[in-house]
Amino acid sequence: MNAPMILSPEALAKIDKATTKYPPGQKRSAVMAALTIAQDEKGWLSTETMDFVAQCLGMPPIAVYEVATFYSMYDLQPVGKYKISLCTNLPCALSGANAAADYLKKKLAIDFNETTGDGQFTLKQGECFGACGDAPVLLVNNKRMCSFMTREKLEKLLAELK
């Protein structure tokens, strides 16, 4: 009944604020925001975290799980400290995304959907970010977009994150 607090008061306040965007009785509209906030804080979405979000928004847990598994930026498994998602869609591929992918895989010694042994990096293959003009593009932890990722810029980025 009185479930333990899974998220910090700050995160809860943010979720509360997100719910005010929607009409009364439509709290569940904030589920994407709530899951994003929860993932930002926890690094990934465990069953426990999703249960908690379900309770916060008065949703059936399975409905939260449906949402979390539908949108590709939610992680239902632990990821590295830095999750690097690289767009490899056609426009990016035309401008060097495959070379960037090869470089990252070699440098980090992992394939897509893998995490480095030290838990620092996870590599993901992304679909179109809507930034094809800046190709190759990648996202660090979903929110920081890096453009024109030539070999030099990738090197710099990895050095900065290490």
Give the other-Cβ count within 10 Å of 130's Cβ.
8
**Smallest distance, another protein to C-beta of residue 110, A:** 20
150 binds another protein (CB under 8 A): no
Q: By CB under 8 A, is residue 32 in contact with another protein? A: yes
Q: 31, 64 in Cβ contact below 8 A? A: yes
Nearest residue to 139 via CA among 82, 99, 93, 96: 82
Cβ closest to another protein, residue 5 vs residue 128: 128
**Angle at the Cα of 38 from the Cα atoms of 104 and 108, rounded to 5 degrees:** 10
Number of neighbouring beta carbons within 10 Å of residue 132: 17
136 binds another protein (CB under 8 A): no
Name which position in 29, 44, 153, 158 contacts another protein (CB under 8 A).
29
**Of residues 34-93, those binding another protein (CB under 8 A):** 35-36, 47, 51, 57, 59-63, 65-67, 69-74, 88-91, 93
